[in-house]
Structure 1
């Protein structure tokens, strides 16, 4: 299973429409991949709080349409990162979009844990509540977003729902990059899953981004890791490795709490 993480750089001087087209063009080049992943809020910037409401879109808005067309043209499964979604009731959500190779929007995930400590995203956006998995031909994806990475109970719930590959788009700041790598490896090894963590490069509203998207295997070993700048990170995964790891070291069956 061939996967690519598109570590997009967010430049505040680049119009949203231009970045949308640039991201779609990158997706269209990935026809050799099975799964392509974009970062969190790449269209506007995860720390550009003042832009969330003006840039918010419906699930059939311009970003979703561009990503749908790109997935269909490339014939890939596309986790299009997340957008600022304007819900039907007027609320704002940090919402991930997953498209199949026909360009159909098959699942969405509204971020459960909002970052900001009573400011920023935590007060501007509403929280999701649904545990979301997506069955692919080769694996079952479990969806989380950025700050979610700090809450292991969410990932246990995803495993209980059948997840074998965890996907985490993010806009993670450079000043906490060590936590990004540490938590990605921890979530992979404790859940015996692949973990695909796709971050942004560049600067969001004056906040330098960590980059360093990372792919981790079910033993917690790093398969591939990006640098700090815009980059496409590609790796070949063996979905059977999840099953083999869980059979050879069946720690999950010994869980006592939370069952």
Structure 2
């Protein structure tokens, strides 16, 4: 499987419509990929809180339409990052969209863990309530978004649901870059799964982004990474069957005792 992670910069001076067009063109350049992954809230910027309501859209809104066409034109599985989704009841959600190679919607995931504590996303958006996996040819992909990375129980749930590849679509701040790299590798090691961690670059409402997108194997080895915070395309080829090999050779998951609770 070849995955292409598109580390997209969010410049506050660029319009959302212009960014959609630019990113769709980048997706169409990835015809040699099986799976293309975009970052979190690349249309608005993950920290551009004041833009969430104004730039929110229904699930099948402008970003859905543009990305569905890009996936179909390119013939790839496309994790189109996340958008500020406006539910019919008015609630906003941080929602990821995954398209099949024919442009149909394969899955959507509403971010469960909202960042901000008592401000920002945590108070402006609703929380998702469902773990989401997507079956691709030869493997199962589990979906997560940014702050979710700090909650290992979510990833355990995805593994229990069959996930062998864990996608983390993020708008992670540069000042916590060390946590990003540490936690992404930890999620790979503890779940014996591939982790595809795709972040934004540039700045969102004055918050510098970490970038540093990575592909990590089930043993915690980094197969590829973007060493800077700029716009970049990271393409890595890997064999999903390695998950089964690692889990068989070092069967730590079999020793779980999930019934222990405080």
Normalized against structure 2, the TM-score is what?
0.98
Aligned to 2:219: 219
Over residues 116-162 of structure 1, what are the superposed CA-to-partner deviations in whole Å (9 max), with x where a residue is unaligned? 01100000000001010000002100000000000000000000000
Q: Cα offset for 1:257?
A: 2.4
Aligned to 1:126: 126
State the secondary structure of the residue aligned to 1:12. coil
Aligned to 1:151: 151
In structure 2, distance between residues paired with 1:76 and 1:89: 33
Gaps of 5+ in 2: none
Aligned to 2:66: 66
In structure 2, distance between residues paired with 1:144 and 1:8: 18
Aligned CA distance change for structure 1 residues 172 and 250 (closer, same or farther; 3 Å): same
In structure 2, distance between residues paired with 1:66 and 1:8: 16
Q: Cα offset for 1:258?
A: 4.3
Over residues 172-220 of structure 1, what are the superposed CA-to-partner deviations in whole Å (9 max), with x where a residue is unaligned? 0000000000000000000000000000000000000000001100001
Aligned to 1:183: 183
Gaps of 5+ in 1: none
Structure 1's consecutive aligned runs of 4 or more residues displaced over 2 angstroms after TM superposition are none
Aligned CA distance change for structure 1 residues 131 and 258 (closer, same or farther; 3 Å): farther
Aligned to 1:238: 239
Aligned to 1:250: 251
CA RMSD of aligned residues (A): 0.7
Q: How many residues align?
A: 259
Matches within 5 A, 1:136-147: 136-147=136-147
Q: Cα offset for 1:88?
A: 1.8
In structure 2, distance between residues paired with 1:91 and 1:174: 29
Aligned to 1:52: 52
In structure 2, distance between residues paired with 1:18 and 1:82: 17
Aligned to 1:78: 78
In structure 2, distance between residues paired with 1:97 and 1:138: 20
State the secondary structure of the residue aligned to 1:144. strand
Aligned to 1:19: 19
Normalized against structure 1, the TM-score is what?
0.99
In structure 2, distance between residues paired with 1:257 and 1:62: 42
In structure 2, distance between residues paired with 1:26 and 1:138: 25
Aligned to 1:163: 163
Matches within 5 A, 1:93-108: 93-108=93-108
